[in-house]
Structure 1
Amino acid sequence: MRYPHPLLRSFSWAWPLAVLGAMAPWSGAVAQAQTFPSKPVTLVVPFAAGGPADVMARLLGQQLNLGQALVVEAKPGAGGTIGAAAVAKAPADGHTLLFVTAGHAGTGALYPRLPYDPVKDFTPVIGLAAAPVVIAVRADSPYKTLQELVAAARANPGKLSCAGGGGGATVTNLAFELIKADLKLDITAIPYKGSAPAITGLLGGEIDCDSDAIAALMPHVKAGKLRALAVTTQRRSPLLPEVPTVAESVLPGMAGAAWYGVLAPKGTPAPVVERLQKAFASALREPQVQERLKEQGAEPLEMDAKSFGAYLASEAQRWGGLIRKLGLKAD
């Protein structure tokens, strides 16, 4: 029997060994996905309990079918960066996830010394839903329209105040900052740790206005405690058809929305991400979830991991650019 050249003979053995070696990590990831989850999954919400992000996370958690419990854990503070930092350094096994809002995309610019990169240090799982941002005042406020609020701010520079969301790291606050910058308004931003305390501050007279997701403000608008002045989306919300858009009122072309999604630590195996994505997508399609989203003025997105990753990167450029342009800094 003739044998190949020694180099070829070595290669003939090395090739299948190399293939097996390359397959080993993939096989391990598949095996990990088959046994995932092996314990309860923690979904970290980096904002105060009771806000729209917390409500959305708990709503989905009730419908999520992973074979293990989903524990929603609120870790508020510093515009969502405390909770995000905790997830960024968690084991990349899919058992610790981060519930993010649109503001997550801008934290890299707002907090230059973050111990993580809001895009590169996470693995996208799914984009969930988007909702309008509403600008509101108390029901007894003298301002009946956004035009009147703007006029009062111009006549009294620095006298009016609006919720600043704990450093302004949410798109709801950034949308209002964009309005302030374009209209050259001097309105003081008062920081809060999340939607719930900001609304409490507005109702209690600590601030003059608030800009937040429609889900957070709508119950108080319906109860007659707050007055909605405008929405930031391109078209009016079906929940508030009589409320004009910001573009209609004072700033043509202005548009922005609050969105929600789920991230995992960087390096989470693709099969585990796929399992999570399918589970969240299935929960999102449940009739009770769909109805609740509709009630809250939110529109389901159901972006897969790849699409959500690309969207997150584009949002980071958009809001990061705005933050740098406005010279915004975290408190």
Structure 2
Amino acid sequence: MLQLAAGLGALGSARAASASTWPSQPVRFICPFAAGGPTDVAARLVAEQLSGTLPQRVLVENRTGSGVVVGTEAVAKSTADGHTLLYSTIAHSVLRPLFPSLSFDPVADFQPVVLVGVVPMLLMINKDVPARDLQQLIAMYREKPNHYTYGSSGAGGAVHLATELFLQQAGNLKVNHIPYRGSAPAMPDLLNGNLSMFLNVASDGITSVQRGTTRALAVSSTQRLPQLPDVPTFAEAGLPSYEAYTWHMLFAPAGTPKEVVNQLNQAVNQVTRQPELLRRFTDLSIQARSDSTPASAAAWLQAEMAKWEPMVRAAGITAQ
């Protein structure tokens, strides 16, 4: 018993020492998305601000492949000391239905640290589509099943999920899906009429709506966007149950000392309150959640998984 007590005491001392000396080396954010994309840009903004407040630099490493699997797996199998973290999105909440043979568990192998922010989606249509509001668009799709097309930034991504949820809640509408490799290649097809609809992250659509090259019928958040005050929410447009976001969350490997997780949480919340970062987040349509705790981040993830996993299975969405 004395040996066991001594061992537990040593373990507790080691964890305390680890927490008090963290970070003892540069911290890495593994971003499982391509460099230059919206998630990468946000991760680098947070990392840059943290580098100015922590005693070590925070670096972003893009590690892509099999959707977000390669980068996520790397963090799941890394040392749980707070120096290797995952900066990911809604994609984490649908890993299980999209990739049933994962070598890691998206829940058991991770500790949510902080919900950095949420990003609403903007339903845009080609400017020549005759629908003037959301209800007219729904009626148009209902009248001609499988006649129209919508675009996404990739099968199983946030845009695809948000659109399928809209189609389900609007009465299981049948609209043909055309996946692209990212949002950028889809926009020209929306502009030239090859797509009737694109429910994209708001930051990628605001400019085209302001210029009048596309029209926006609804925004997926509970409040209107300050940049587009005339565009109603889905609830205001007649679909009260619809709400969807992509989101940004920082994860640590399971087993990371609680003290380190709390330090990380407080540091991220602190920098996301800074006016400069808030301004940059506004440009990306990211609504900062500067009061997130590890517990509330975990609850958010569980709620998102409960929402999206059944929808993915019901819609027959598969990874490509």
Question: What's the TM-score, normalizing by structure 2?
Answer: 0.86
Q: Output one character per residue of 1:9-55: Cα deviation in whole Å (capped at 9) or x when no partner.
A: xxxxx44x433321222221222233333332221222233333222
Q: Which residue of 1 aligns with 2:263?
A: 275
Q: Deviations over 1:181-232 (max 9, x none)?
A: 2322222222334444544664576644322222232244344443322112
In structure 2, the partner of 1:38 is: 24
Between 198-207 and 278-287, the greater mean CA deviation after superposition: 198-207
Q: 1:90 touches 1:96 (CA, 8 Å); kept in 2? A: yes
Q: CA 1:184/1:120 → structure 2, altered by over 3 Å: closer, same or farther?
A: same
> 3-state SS of the aligned residue for 1:163?
strand
**In 2: Cα distance, 1:35 partner to 1:76 partner:** 31
Tell me how far 1:264 sits from its aligned partner: 1.4
Q: 2-side partners of 1:134 and 1:286: how far apart? A: 26
**CA shift in 2, pair 1:196/1:313, >3 Å:** same
Whole-angstrom CA distance in 1 between matches of 2:152 and 2:196: 12
Rounded Cα–Cα distance in structure 1 between residues aligned with 2:10 and 2:206: 52
RMSD: 2.6
**Corresponding position: 1:49 with 2:38:** no
What is the DSSP-based 3-state SS (H/G/I as helix, E as strand, rest coil) of the residue aligned with 1:325?
Answer: helix
Q: What residue in structure 2 maps to residue 28 of structure 1? A: 14
CA 1:280–1:206 in 2, change beyond 3 Å: closer, same or farther?
farther
- Measured in 2, the distance between the counterparts of 1:165 and 1:120 equals 29
SS at match of 1:124: strand
Give the residue type in structure 1 aligned to 2:21: T
Residue 324 (1) aligns with residue 310 (2): no
In structure 2, which of residues 115, 121, 125 is the aligned counterpart of residue 127 of structure 1?
115
The one-letter code of the counterpart of 1:160 is Y
1:91-110 aligned within 5 A = 91-110=79-98
Query: Any idea what SS the aligned residue of 2:296 has?
Result: helix
Q: Secondary structure at the match of 1:166?
A: coil
Q: Quick one: distance in 2 between partners of 1:193 and 1:23?
A: 52
**Structure 2: which amino acid aligns with 1:35?**
T
- Report the CA distance between 1:148 and its aligned residue: 4.3
Is this contact kept in 1: 2:127–2:191, CA < 8 A?
no
Pair 1:307 & 2:293 matched:
no
Q: Secondary structure at the match of 2:154?
A: helix
5+ residue gaps, structure 2: none
> Structure 1 residue 289 and structure 2 residue 277: aligned?
yes
Q: 1:45 to 1:201 in 2, by over 3 A?
A: farther
- The match for 2:242 is 254
Name segments (4+ residues, structure 1) moved above 6 Å.
Answer: none
Asked which structure has the greater CA Rg, the reply is 1
Q: Distance in 2 between matches of 1:39 and 1:290?
A: 27
What are the residue-to-residue correspondences of 1:216-255 with 2, within 5 Å?
A: 216-255=204-243
- 3-state DSSP class of the match of 1:175? helix
Distance in 1 between the 2:194 and 2:103 partners?
Answer: 33
The structure that is helix-richer by fraction is 1
Task: Please tell me whether the aligned partners of residues 38 and 284 of structure 2 are also in contact (alpha carbons under 8 angstroms).
Answer: no
SS at match of 1:247: coil
Change (3 A) 1:34 1:223: farther
Q: Counterpart of 2:164? A: 177
Give yes or no for contact 1:166–1:192 (8 Å, CA) kept in 2.
yes
SS at 1:167's partner residue? coil
Letter of the 1:289 counterpart = L
User: Which deviates more, 246-255 or 174-183?
Assistant: 246-255
Percent identity over paired residues: 38
Shift of 1:267: 1.9
Match of 2:124 among 122, 129, 136: 136
Where 1:135 maps in the other structure, the secondary structure is strand
Instruction: Decide whether the 8 Å contact of 2:126 with 2:195 is kept in 1.
Output: no
Q: Aligned to 2:103, what secondary structure does the other structure show? A: coil
- Counterpart position of 2:4: 18
For the residue of structure 2 that corresponds to 1:132, the secondary structure is strand
SS of 1:323's equivalent? helix
Query: Which segment drifts farther, 84-93 or 73-82?
Result: 73-82
Q: Using the alignment, how far apart are the partners of 1:86 and 1:192 within structure 2? A: 26
Matches of 2:242 and 2:87 in 1, distance apart?
Answer: 27
Name stretches of at least 5 consecutive residues in structure 1 with no aligned partner. 1-13
* TM-score, normalising length: structure 1: 0.83
Separation in 2, partners of 1:206, 1:44:
36
Counterpart Cα distance in 2 of 1:67 and 1:73: 19
SS of the equivalent of 1:321 reads helix
SS at match of 2:289: strand
